[in-house]
Amino acid sequence: MDYEYRCKEVIPLFQSDAFETIRGLDFYLQALEQFINEKEAQEVSDLKRHADHLPAERQGEFWAWHYPVHWKEILASQLRSSFIVSLVSLAESHVGMVSEQALKIAQAPLKPRDLGGGFFERHRKRLETFADFQRPSTSSWDGLYSIRDIRNCIVHASGRLFNAKNKKRLRSLVDSLPGLTASYDVLEFAPEFPAWAIGEVRTFIDALYEEAADLCVRIGISP
């Protein structure tokens, strides 16, 4: 009866919450990018009224000094980094909840050696070893690890690669992931990175809950 309750009530409730939260984050990301673009355009328009009163030969110098680069180079990157922190928190929450339910359904006998390691790595081991999870795929887990490592650099090193513990790993991610740069060894985020990251997390969460449903079917409980 307890297994049936977990399969038919608890896991679907968690799944619904995950999908609603991802939809909310997706809407927030779109609104964020629109806000950044509109504010930059508004400031450019205000400055243009001043520039238009200057002689043509002085307008280039005016824009060199006054163009609002802060929107794209500072504020936008900061706002996107906070989005990545929220996104990883979502993934951590649902990996932990599914892992807890799956282990109870599978009646997994955990040992002390099963409790160590990083958060995602620890729960992946539990899901694959004790609950026979075949999904999410290795590439999907790798994508999640990458986003987690970027989040850790943001939170623990203020985005500064030179203050991070895994500098080599982070530089590799900067070279390979879309919309991610590190001028002067400080992480910077173009719109492509949070868009890629939310796509990765959405795919991961989909697979995680599909596999949880399959676990229930394997023990004889249909959703």
Q: Tokens 């943001």 — which residue?
A: 154
150 CB neighbour count, 10 Å cutoff? 24
Residue 57 within a domain:
yes
Q: Tokens 């990018």 — which residue?
A: 33
- Give yes or no for residue 91 having a pLDDT over 90: yes
Q: What is the pLDDT of residues 168-219, one digit of tens each?
A: 999 999 999 999 999 889 999 999 999 999 999 999 999 999 999 999 998 8
Q: For residues 79-101, b (16+ Cβ closer than 10 Å) or e, as one string? A: bbbebbeebbebbbebbebbbeb
Residue 10 within a domain:
yes
Residue 223 within a domain:
no
Q: How many residues does the chain have?
A: 223
State the pLDDT confidence band at 115, using cuts at 50, 70 and 90: low
Count of the separate structural domains present in the chain: 1
Distance between CA atoms of 204 and 18, rounded to whole angstroms?
A: 11
Q: What is the pLDDT of residues 136-168, one digit of tens each?
A: 999 999 999 999 999 999 999 999 999 998 999
What is the reported pTM? 0.87
The range of the structural domain enclosing residue 138 comes to: 2-218
Residue 144 within a domain:
yes
